[in-house]
Structure 1
Amino acid sequence: MRLVPRPLPPAAGDRDRDVDVAVRRGLAALRAELDVPAAFPSAVLQEARLRATTGPQAAERVDARDLPFLTIDPPGSMDLDQALHVERRGGGYLVRYAIADVAAWLEPRGPIDDEARGRVTTLYAPDGRTPLHPPELSEGAASLLPGQEAPVALWEIELDGEGAPRGVVVRRATVRSSARLTYDEAQQAIDAGAGLAADDGPLALLREVGELRQAAERARGGITLPMPEQEVELDEHGTWRLVSRRTLPVEEWNAQISLLTGMCAAELMLDAGIGVLRTLPSSRPEDVARLRRTALALGVAWPQGAPAGEVLAGLDAADPRQAAVLTDATTLLRGAAYAAFDGERPAEPGHGAIAAPYAHVTAPLRRLVDRFATQVCLAVAAGTEPDAWVREALPVLPDLMSAGDRRASAYERGCLDLVEAALLAGREGEVFEGMVVDVSGGGAKGVLQLADPVVHARVSGAGLEAGTRVRVRLVEADVEKRSVTFEEA
């Protein structure tokens, strides 16, 4: 969810005002319930302002300021972790990925570090966000803003003509991004084959590499679910809306660069016997077989022997039957965790959805663990030992990250539930059309997906069937409980 807060316009109608008041009160209650941090303590702000003024800590860095890096992010983003440069090299490609070196801007176990260990991740809500680090750094000095010199961990990954890694280097560097694009701007340029997407421009090569990496993911048996994102919007008239947004192809290609970097980082750390991985159990054969039976029962094609990732990637969530299969497929991706190790490799180092070992290293401005994993990789690549403060943090990172991820998930779901209830409050008794994407209790209970408004909610009925369209009546929309319930009409 991404939104720049704005005051409610005077012309807004009574219902819009009621919804706005309900949402904002509900968000305040949700933040209190989940203990979402408010303002940064004065000591944290003081350290951030000092660092932003004096600059990053001194270190030996490669000068990469002449390379035309670019960033691709959601509109309005200021906390830019990643900058990209791609070129052809030796029959393949050279991918350079510059990642903000957050460790250069703070003192280990100082005020900023301690506060970040409590916050763990940046939290997003419809009325703004709760950042991991003070904006003076995350949206200022440490961000890879265009024209600004910044310290980074510079990944240089050589790929062959099929997009497979054949060489990896990571080292400290200084870069200066030259272009800042939104996903829409990047996609439009790629579609037009113009500007940075012309000929062998970086966006054209991003597409080539991204598509090769997608093919490699399918070949490995990786799983990506093409589900539309449910987002909250507040328009210029003061009207709250829930919308369904499909991921643009450039977002998926850009994500493949991040996944590639995380996979390379995991291999570096595993080879060295020290680090922290993001893990996920592989899908059990019996679960995949059950999902295939469900798909076939719904009339969704699943050829014998076809991998789950290949089938799921080709489904369309706009089709009720295929949406039901995609919803059910989330059961294949459960049990994500973090595994820290120092001397002994994890027994199960893989990530089932990626079908390879993987580590978080590409979002250090927004996620705590990336800073530590990056420092391990820099040390390993340089042939040195990780700093003591990094090594000491490894054993506690899995618990910190798991707790932070649970809060972030509860916060996002709570925000969506709240807006859904606020938009439907007072409309009890109205009839809507939607599709059933999951059932339980012998068809007496299910999960409903509405198209307008874009709501996911509980529904009761007699003989509900997944993958079918139904007419339903709104029974309850409780803003305080953040709960919406329908019954079959």
Structure 2
Amino acid sequence: MELHQRIVSAPVDFGAIRSEFGLASEYPAEAVSDARDAVDAFAGTRADRTDIEFVTIDPPGAMDLDQALRLERTATGFTLHYAIADVGAVIMPGSALARESESRGQTFYLPDSAVPLHPTVLSEDAASLLPGQNRPAALWTIELDEHAVPQSFSVTRAMVRSRERFDYARVQADADAGTLHPSLVALPEFGRLRIEAGLDQGAISLRLPAQDVVRHGDEWRLELEPRTAADDWNEQVSLLTGMCAARIMLEHNGAPIGLLRTMPPPAQSAIDSMRRTAAALGVAWPADVPVGRLLAGLDANTPAALVLMSEATSLLRGAGYTILADLDDPGADKLTHSAIGAPYAHVTAPLRRLADRFVTEICLAHCAGTEVPQWVIDGLGPAVETLRRTDAVASKVDRACVDLTEATVLAPRVGSEFSALVLREANGSRPAEIFVAQPPVLGRCEGRPPEGQRVPVRLTVADPGKRIITFDYVS
């Protein structure tokens, strides 16, 4: 019985997925010209903060660097300086570049290349926070107490200069060796405190295996996406800034102007179902322990944890965008992102996501005591429609790329047996969901295998044309 498979790769053509979802890889010439000729609309008025030793943390090879940070430990807590690429300053409202980016909504990442929100001459060069380059930025300054709870925060336009770029593996290695860059020395403590603060306010974080399609010469293979503690620490910087942005918009005196990323509270029936699963798996779950605390306390490498985290995905549904001016009854449940446990806004990735440019402009205006630009007010509604449409497409594109790679890589293995963990048992006509570790695939399985158990399964279908794989339980 062939339960342990070697890592396999295969040639995969992602062009059909681009065509299927209408992803235009070429940027219109007029918009590219706008990007090439872009100038800083606020040149000469910015604070010069090139004295701050900013660094960036991004995936290896990334060139669209939205964020640079400097985190300092102080006598009373922490000071975070967080520079975000100032895209709003280099895109002229109403220009061909503005119209095209407002139609695209976001960057789509496929394994072989990206379909960018902005021309690469802007997103990977002139506006990117590349090391050694002076760049216009929206500079966030957040003062936190010893528990990493924000005490004050603001954002202003500044000129900044990143000193060095890191990837997550390098930051983790430096943290383990005690050799972190001075701008990052406080990051591990800050990250742990912010994670704890999030759990206190009901945050839910899932640590499910994430599939990654990786180039291997001229072929592609599936790997588990590496996730380090450094990923989690850096994520907390972005989450904190998004929560501060939400508070700036919500606490502003005057007509409500703002855009939040929201998610409704989980349905009680979904929580009850998850409690029944935990009981069946022998996982103790005291009545006063919230979901986020339970999941955070589990060993993510155990079958029970993977099953519960898989089921917990049903708690995190309904994410959307909320325009403050559209709310007749701005109750807390309509303003909060339940996975974060607080109001939250997208504000830290303007090179890759449309919402962030609009939210940044609103926060800059509120902090400066000036009027929000009219193009922002007029454009919020259309921007949200674009974001809703493209979020749905992005999710489908990601899944399609993984499905195609799974089916292509596994096509020669039809009839082979694998060891699988059953994440969800079959329910009615819905087949069971399983995770095969080698190669890492998520698939459906016929035959009602027992939930939470490792079982042998046989691959019966691997169809690249339909992007489908199916296994049968070998009882």
TM-score bucket (shorter structure): over 0.9
Question: Offset at 1:165?
Answer: 0.8
Alignment of 1:18-33 (within 5 A): 19-20=10-11, 23-24=12-13, 27-33=14-20
Structure 1 range deviating more: 439-448 or 99-108 = 439-448
Question: Offset at 1:64?
Answer: 0.4
Alpha-carbon separation, structure 1, partners of 2:412 and 2:196: 48
Alpha-carbon separation, structure 1, partners of 2:354 and 2:384: 11
Q: Deviations over 1:394-416 (max 9, x none)?
A: 12222211111001000000000
Alpha-carbon separation, structure 2, partners of 1:410 and 1:396: 22
2:4 corresponds in structure 1 to: none
Is 1:350 equivalent to 2:336 in the alignment?
yes
- Which of 392, 406, 409 is the matching residue for 1:423? 409
Is 1:235 equivalent to 2:222 in the alignment?
no
Question: Secondary structure of 1:342's partner?
Answer: helix
- Which of 450, 456, 459 is the matching residue for 1:465? 450
| Contact 2:461–2:468 under 8 Å retained in 1 | yes
| Contact 2:25–2:116 under 8 Å retained in 1 | no
Alpha-carbon separation, structure 1, partners of 2:452 and 2:44: 58
Is 1:220 equivalent to 2:201 in the alignment?
yes
Q: Deviations over 1:182-204 (max 9, x none)?
A: 111111111111141xxxx3222
| Contact 2:104–2:386 under 8 Å retained in 1 | no
2:156 corresponds in structure 1 to: 171
Q: Measured at CA, do residues 444 and 375 of structure 1 come closer, stay the same or move farther in structure 2, by a change above 3 Å?
A: closer
Question: Offset at 1:143?
Answer: 0.4
| Contact 2:139–2:158 under 8 Å retained in 1 | yes
- Which of 140, 147, 150 is the matching residue for 2:135? 150
| Contact 1:37–1:119 under 8 Å retained in 2 | no
Is 1:407 equivalent to 2:393 in the alignment?
yes
| Contact 2:53–2:183 under 8 Å retained in 1 | no
Is 1:245 equivalent to 2:225 in the alignment?
yes
| Contact 1:281–1:335 under 8 Å retained in 2 | yes
| Contact 1:227–1:246 under 8 Å retained in 2 | no
TM-score normalised by structure 1 residue count: 0.91
Question: Secondary structure of 2:89's partner?
Answer: helix
| Contact 1:341–1:394 under 8 Å retained in 2 | no
Question: Offset at 1:343?
Answer: 7.9
Question: Offset at 1:58?
Answer: 3.0
Is 1:34 equivalent to 2:21 in the alignment?
yes
1:282 corresponds in structure 2 to: 265
Question: Offset at 1:90?
Answer: 4.3
Question: Secondary structure of 2:72's partner?
Answer: strand
Question: Offset at 1:59?
Answer: 5.7
Point out where structure 2 has 5 or more consecutive residues left out of the alignment. Answer: 1-7
| Contact 1:433–1:469 under 8 Å retained in 2 | yes
Q: Which runs of 4+ in 1 moved over 6 A?
A: none
Question: Secondary structure of 1:169's partner?
Answer: strand
Question: Secondary structure of 1:228's partner?
Answer: coil
1:335 corresponds in structure 2 to: 318
Structure 1 range deviating more: 470-479 or 308-317 = 308-317
Question: Secondary structure of 1:456's partner?
Answer: strand
Q: Which amino acid aligns with 2:387?
A: M
| Contact 1:153–1:173 under 8 Å retained in 2 | yes
Is 1:483 equivalent to 2:463 in the alignment?
no
| Contact 2:105–2:353 under 8 Å retained in 1 | yes
Alignment of 1:267-346 (within 5 A): 267-272=247-252, 273-342=256-325, 346=330
1:449 corresponds in structure 2 to: 435
1:254 corresponds in structure 2 to: 234
2:244 corresponds in structure 1 to: 264
Query: How many residues are aligned here?
Result: 461
Structure 1 range deviating more: 284-293 or 95-104 = 284-293
Alpha-carbon separation, structure 2, partners of 1:377 and 1:437: 42
Question: Secondary structure of 2:443's partner?
Answer: strand
Q: What is the aligned-residue RMSD (CA, Å)?
A: 1.7
- Which of 158, 181, 188 is the matching residue for 1:207? 188
Alpha-carbon separation, structure 2, partners of 1:129 and 1:437: 32
Alpha-carbon separation, structure 2, partners of 1:444 and 1:387: 50
| Contact 1:339–1:346 under 8 Å retained in 2 | no
Question: Secondary structure of 2:27's partner?
Answer: coil
Q: Measured at CA, do residues 140 and 56 of structure 1 come closer, stay the same or move farther in structure 2, by a change above 3 Å?
A: farther
Identity %: 45
Q: Which amino acid aligns with 1:219?
A: D
Alpha-carbon separation, structure 1, partners of 2:350 and 2:15: 27
1:9 corresponds in structure 2 to: none
Q: Which amino acid aligns with 2:237?
A: I
Q: Which amino acid aligns with 2:26?
A: A
Alpha-carbon separation, structure 1, partners of 2:243 and 2:63: 26
Is 1:435 equivalent to 2:421 in the alignment?
yes
Question: Secondary structure of 2:98's partner?
Answer: helix
Question: Secondary structure of 1:426's partner?
Answer: helix
Structure 1 range deviating more: 301-310 or 70-79 = 301-310
- Which of 175, 187, 191 is the matching residue for 2:176? 191
1:43 corresponds in structure 2 to: 30
1:5 corresponds in structure 2 to: none
Q: Measured at CA, do residues 316 and 224 of structure 1 come closer, stay the same or move farther in structure 2, by a change above 3 Å?
A: same
Point out where structure 1 has 5 or more consecutive residues left out of the alignment. Answer: 1-14
